[in-house]
Structure 1
Amino acid sequence: MLFLQDASYTHPNRDLLFSNINLAINRQDKIALIGNNGSGKSTLLQILAGTLQLSDGQVKTESRPYYVPQIFGQFNDHTIARALGIEDKLTALKQILDGQVTEENLTLLGDDWTIEERCSEAFAHWNLDAPDLMQKMGTLSGGQKTKVFLAGTAIHHPEIVLLDEPSNHLDTVSRDILYEYIKTTAATLVVVSHDRTLLNLLDTVYELSKRGITVYGGNYDFYAEQKMIESDALNQDLKSKEKALRKAKEIERESVERQQKLDARGKRKQEKAGLPTISMNTFKNNAEKSTSRIKGVHAEKVGNISQDLTELRASLSGMDKMKVDFDHSALHNGKVLVTAKDINFGFGDHLLWKEPMNFQITSGDRYAIKGQNGSGKTTLIKMLLGDLLPQTGTIECTNMNAIYIDQDYSLIDNTLTVYQQAQEYNSGALQEHEVKIRLNRFLFTKEYWDKPCLVLSGGEKMRLMLCSLTIRNHAPDIIILDEPTNNLDIQNVEILTAAISAYQGTLLVVSHDEYFLKEVNAAGSIHLPATAYSKPFS
């Protein structure tokens, strides 16, 4: 149903993204396409959708795929109807109902007389408040745009659906609707996502990398188990090869020393025997050649093992290469950090929540801040940080060191280089080489040190943020994460998960990713009340 044969794609700047990709997806297959940032997942989806052309190879589909993109900016000037590809039908229907029963209008509409009703039903299913189909996409929030395109699956009834990070902007309720669609649809699905709950609903994982596509015949948990087995085997090979390298170097040293002792002994015998100078020089040359030959043999062995070791290390995943050494808060567990009494926010007499909020946060707590899109989660965080004051009630906060990490990693200064950014957190006065060792540990090799932070991807900014926190001399008492996984690939989500899981201080997380919340043990929750506003609030 979906076929790629010897597929290659080269960027307009002539950089090769991938080559010789072969892919066969059968009817009603449900495929997860995963890979690190920059591996070409979104590009491959666009090629399958027909919006990008291959540089080489062939792509074949039995029917036209329906594509839900990750980025919607290109549709901001479109009406909802145009973005969904139904504007011509709606115009034809309106003209027919107005008496313009032309051949052109009848052809455009076909038999689709219920297009408006089907749109209303689809929007209602995805919890969209019956938007005007002539409304501009640019007036919608990210979550609303996603739901418009997802509603298109019920409007068009496609046989093939391509989804690129479909849960990114969705709240918990909308994610549940998406998960139900994934489970029940009869369509063929190809999904790019870092949402591990969603990935576990899919039958097969296709991993895209520089080596091509590797197929894992199971859901994400099965894939993770297989990758762990591969990682364990690779680390075992690495240890064996490191041991072999140490042994080879030891044998090389012993052999050279042994030969040198034999040469010295031979020289002393020759001197005692009173051999002529020419004979002595001949023996000396032979000894040097023998030592050189032994050195060459062992150097070749050491070189071969070193080459194997380099290749093995290059195969390690980011998690295996990285050492996350997160410092912990010095505050004792149970110390009261925040007390909120009857708080609400708004302007004038217009309050944000229908009911005021009351809660307490103590040191060592790990809370998820929960609420639907537009319920004011970010507003609550700003009140906790002292950036906003409540309209009613009080928030009492002890003197605490808080770090706020949003989904754009705004703590990273885009005007600085990677090395300069790391130095900004060097309160412990680490030497230059020590800072660079830390950067290397977080996969920032020498080539990155002078790069401006502006060009870093979301995952790279996240790793630089974690690296900076390990360089910092004082651990934060509380870390606040605001949708931290939205712009990350699977590898970087796992890196962040490992770091936050290891952190022993207080944690507040805004996230609709239940899998992530479970992994970082955000077992408690602060639920936001229903809003008094009709429009979403940040």
Structure 2
Amino acid sequence: MLFLQGVTYAHPNRDVLFSDIQLTVNKHDKIALIGNNGAGKSTLLGILAGKFKPVSGTVGADAQPYYVPQLLGQYNGQTVAEALGIHDKLLALREILDGHLTDMNLELLDDDWGIEERCQEAFAHWQLGGISLSQPMATLSGGQKTKVFLAGIMIHQPGNVLLDEPSNHLDAPARSILYEYIRSTTDTLVVVSHDRTLLNLLNTVCELGKRGITVYGGNYDFYAEQKAIEQEALSSDVKAKEKALRKAKEVEREAMERQQKLDARGKKKQEKAGLPTIVQNAFRNNAEKSTARMKGIHAEKVGGIAQELSHLRSELPSVDKMKIDFDNSSLHKGKILVTATHANFGFGEQPIWAKPLDFQITSGERIAIKGANGSGKTTLIRLILGELQPTNGTIECAEFKSIYIDQDYSLIDNALTVYEQARQFNTGALQEHDIKIRLNRFLFTREYWGKRCGSLSGGEKMRLMLCSLAIATQAPDLIILDEPTNNLDIQNIGILTAAISEYRGTLLVVSHDAHFLRETNVEREILLV
């Protein structure tokens, strides 16, 4: 069991990230923790793990949780055993086996005589053959580091497990092992993820937002259905409030027109009656006060409705505001762009692919490039872009305009400001205010314009990339996406999916995200073995 009661967390600069968080995770529960980038999901997981201290509130657990963090670079200075927290225990076991039966060694081992066998079994299960416990973490790939920490679940055998984006960097076989663990385990799980296949294996979704944690009693598909109902109701509320605002303004205008006519009629009567000036002034003052009072009542009503409408609009999903409006690709559909004939590439004499590549890519197709980690997906992209030449066979490419978008959004220049980056794509001679209107549409308000791109999150860089493409207006003939959903939250994945779905050119995608491939209408795959 895990619980948070009245938990508030603030950054070192005292900015409050979230406050008064309530969460109870019962034994054997499998909880998905979701929310937009910046909501504090990873921080909340770190609080449950004891890595961060809240400003106030209570954190509790019936057993120390095992924590798999999203970022693993901080372990590069350690060995695999040190990163897993078992180095001292293994050392004590070897000391005992060598005859050094000391109280300290027995205390460190804690009767865990099967630790080495569990390590071997866990590494074999997670396909980590060839990796030793003494190996430096810095020598491992991102996927291998993640699998090391996932293997730690079998090694430590905890009751409570916290996973932060565990499927990031994992290839399809490793993801299958992860999914099977989540399906079959009786461990208590709290998982932060944007992987919708994984999220559908969890029986409760907890959304962290401005109002704290909202619990949805079902998997991700159930959550998505409920959110769609909520958004539909919200859209109806917005339309009703817009109608009420128009009506209130119309009533205000009609009332003021009637009052002006009455005032004018009253003034004429007073002049015809020949009333003394002092009496006329008194009547005029009373009329002005009455008009001002009426104006104030209507203004207050209109202002109240406008404020309510503004609040409702702020709750609408951002994806509806972000449209790229690409021109169509200049290439006719079906034009042959790339032809590979018995193509292969090798560093030295050893080729990357056991089976040489034979394929064609034609204009308008949507294709996934698939293969295990290390199968040469990025190499194939570089061959298609002409950055490398095959060492065997041929890859022939027609002339086409392409954009390569990797998971780090390297097309974004970190040294530029947000406005300068957007301006670089201004091929259509847009005025400054037009560029800023488009930046606003992609949620880059005035305070962002002078901000350095290097300080942006992954989701913000993705939105700036889409905004820049929208400013360029002329669609590339080919867009290549390399693991585009890594490091994005679900909201930003939705924004990217909507934008790519509107694109009418040729699409190549490297991704293990089956939902993203399906929702962007990928038609076929090139499999690398």
> What TM-score, normalized by structure 2, do the two folds share?
0.98
Map of 2:388 onto structure 1:
388
Map of 2:106 onto structure 1:
106
> What TM-score, normalized by structure 1, do the two folds share?
0.96
Map of 1:495 onto structure 2:
495
Map of 2:63 onto structure 1:
63
Task: Determine if the alignment matches structure 1 residue 282 to structure 2 residue 282.
Answer: yes
| Preserved contact between residue 4 and residue 58 of structure 2 (Cα < 8 Å) | yes
- Looking at structure 1, the residues matched to 90 and 324 of structure 2 have their Cα atoms a distance apart, in angstroms, of 56
CA deviation digits over 1:393-437, x for unaligned, max 9? 222211111111000011111121111211111111122222222
Letter in 1 for 2:344: N
Moved over 4 A (4+): none
- Looking at structure 1, the residues matched to 215 and 287 of structure 2 have their Cα atoms a distance apart, in angstroms, of 57
Letter in 2 for 1:175: R
CA deviation digits over 1:80-116, x for unaligned, max 9? 1111111111111111221212222222223322211
- Looking at structure 2, the residues matched to 378 and 145 of structure 1 have their Cα atoms a distance apart, in angstroms, of 20
Cα deviation, residue 492, structure 1: 0.4
Letter in 1 for 2:198: L
Map of 2:293 onto structure 1:
293
Task: Determine if the alignment matches structure 1 residue 229 to structure 2 residue 229.
Answer: yes
- Looking at structure 1, the residues matched to 371 and 326 of structure 2 have their Cα atoms a distance apart, in angstroms, of 29
| Unmatched tracts of structure 1, length 5 or more | 530-538
- Looking at structure 2, the residues matched to 87 and 72 of structure 1 have their Cα atoms a distance apart, in angstroms, of 18
Letter in 2 for 1:210: K
What is the correspondence of 1:4-403 to structure 2 with a 5 Å cutoff? 4-403=4-403
Letter in 2 for 1:82: E
Provide the secondary structure at the position in 1 that maps to 2:507.
Answer: strand
| Preserved contact between residue 344 and residue 392 of structure 2 (Cα < 8 Å) | yes
- Looking at structure 1, the residues matched to 240 and 320 of structure 2 have their Cα atoms a distance apart, in angstroms, of 16
Map of 1:535 onto structure 2:
none
Provide closer, same or farther for how the CA distance between residues 348 and 74 of structure 1 changes in structure 2, counting only shifts above 3 A.
closer
- Looking at structure 1, the residues matched to 472 and 480 of structure 2 have their Cα atoms a distance apart, in angstroms, of 17
| Preserved contact between residue 323 and residue 499 of structure 2 (Cα < 8 Å) | no
CA deviation digits over 1:259-302, x for unaligned, max 9? 11111122222222222222222222222222212211110110
**Higher alpha-carbon deviation: 333-342 or 200-209:** 333-342
Provide the secondary structure at the position in 2 that maps to 1:21.
Answer: strand
Letter in 2 for 1:106: L
Cα deviation, residue 47, structure 1: 0.9
Map of 2:445 onto structure 1:
445
Q: How many correspondences in the alignment?
A: 529
Letter in 2 for 1:274: G
| Unmatched tracts of structure 2, length 5 or more | none
What is the correspondence of 1:387-536 to structure 2 with a 5 Å cutoff? 387-529=387-529
- Looking at structure 1, the residues matched to 443 and 238 of structure 2 have their Cα atoms a distance apart, in angstroms, of 19
| Preserved contact between residue 325 and residue 473 of structure 2 (Cα < 8 Å) | no
Provide the secondary structure at the position in 2 that maps to 1:491.
Answer: helix
Letter in 1 for 2:526: I
- Looking at structure 1, the residues matched to 286 and 55 of structure 2 have their Cα atoms a distance apart, in angstroms, of 60
CA deviation digits over 1:452-482, x for unaligned, max 9? 1111100001011111111113111111000
- Looking at structure 1, the residues matched to 45 and 143 of structure 2 have their Cα atoms a distance apart, in angstroms, of 21
Provide the secondary structure at the position in 1 that maps to 2:17.
Answer: strand
- Looking at structure 2, the residues matched to 329 and 45 of structure 1 have their Cα atoms a distance apart, in angstroms, of 44
**Higher alpha-carbon deviation: 317-326 or 354-363:** 317-326
Identity of aligned residues (%): 70
- Looking at structure 1, the residues matched to 294 and 50 of structure 2 have their Cα atoms a distance apart, in angstroms, of 61
- Looking at structure 1, the residues matched to 219 and 330 of structure 2 have their Cα atoms a distance apart, in angstroms, of 40
Letter in 2 for 1:408: D
- Looking at structure 1, the residues matched to 324 and 259 of structure 2 have their Cα atoms a distance apart, in angstroms, of 46
RMSD (Å), alpha carbons: 1.3
CA deviation digits over 1:330-380, x for unaligned, max 9? 322111111111211123423222222111000111000001001110111
Provide the secondary structure at the position in 2 that maps to 1:390.
Answer: coil
Provide the secondary structure at the position in 2 that maps to 1:18.
Answer: strand
Letter in 2 for 1:168: N
Provide the secondary structure at the position in 1 that maps to 2:271.
Answer: helix
Provide the secondary structure at the position in 1 that maps to 2:153.
Answer: helix
| Preserved contact between residue 368 and residue 510 of structure 2 (Cα < 8 Å) | yes
